[in-house]
Amino acid sequence: MVGYSMNGPARDRVIKLMEDKDRIETEIREQTAVLASNNVGMSDPLVDADGFPRADIDVYKVRHARHRIICLQNDHKSIMRRIEQGLAEVHSDYVGPNGEGPSVVAPSSSAPYANGHSNGHSNGYANGHGNGHRNGDNNLDDACFAVVGEVQDGSPAYVAGLREHDEILQFGSINSDNYADILQVSHLVTHSVGQNIHVQIRRGQQILDIDLVPRQWSRPGLLGCHIRRRNT
């Protein structure tokens, strides 16, 4: 994949939208930290067995944080759609030095959801990228674009079956063909809370398909594992 830098109002609008997206994601993390500090998620009860507000948490802060997270997630979905539309406009205006069209997915390393996020998080997987990698063992090394780091016991990643050193071949709509930056994975996870993400991994000589659901749990983060770019 090749990066490019071009000037123009469409590109400027996309950059502004990406800055707004970053601010939204920062606030989501801040509000999620409020929930984590109270050891609750988005759906834990706020009253005790007798129907009284729980004394072990700050009920007001938790309610406010939950409301803000829901609003921010809606804002995030909206701005992601606008970014995708803006990227499509930028790409349609780009003509390479030899007259070719765009071969790039995004104008910067922080580009979200390269290639086809608007088709749904799992559609890229269902449309055959994962199966293509599975059927071509000679391409498996090239197909791996990320590696799973430490996985915390009891986390959503652990429950789904991810383990340290698993090599990721497919993560929702992300694969080696459209992967640009590890932030794509973070964006997809943030955008998929409570939703199924299909993940295909290689573990030793095995190719495994895993269903992963990002969610609030007893510790910070939505997965409870570290995913890093594959060393090349």
Predicted pLDDT at 129: 36
112 close to 187: Cβ distance less than 8 angstroms? yes
Q: If we measure between CA atoms, which residue out of 105, 112, 108 comes closest to residue 24? A: 112
pLDDT values of the chain reduced to their tens digit, one per residue, 232 residues: 333 344 567 778 888 888 888 889 889 989 989 999 999 888 889 888 888 999 999 999 999 999 999 999 888 888 888 887 777 766 555 444 444 443 333 333 333 332 333 333 333 333 333 333 344 444 666 789 999 999 999 899 999 999 999 999 999 888 888 888 888 888 888 888 888 899 999 999 899 999 999 998 888 889 999 998 887 5
pLDDT the model gives residue 169 = 93
- The span from the CA of 128 to the CA of 121, in Å, is 13
> Global pTM?
0.44
- Crossing angle of helices 183-190/9-37, nearest 10°? 60
Q: Which single residue is written with the structure tokens 């060393």?
A: 231
What per-residue confidence (pLDDT) applies to 232? 56
pLDDT score of 109: 30
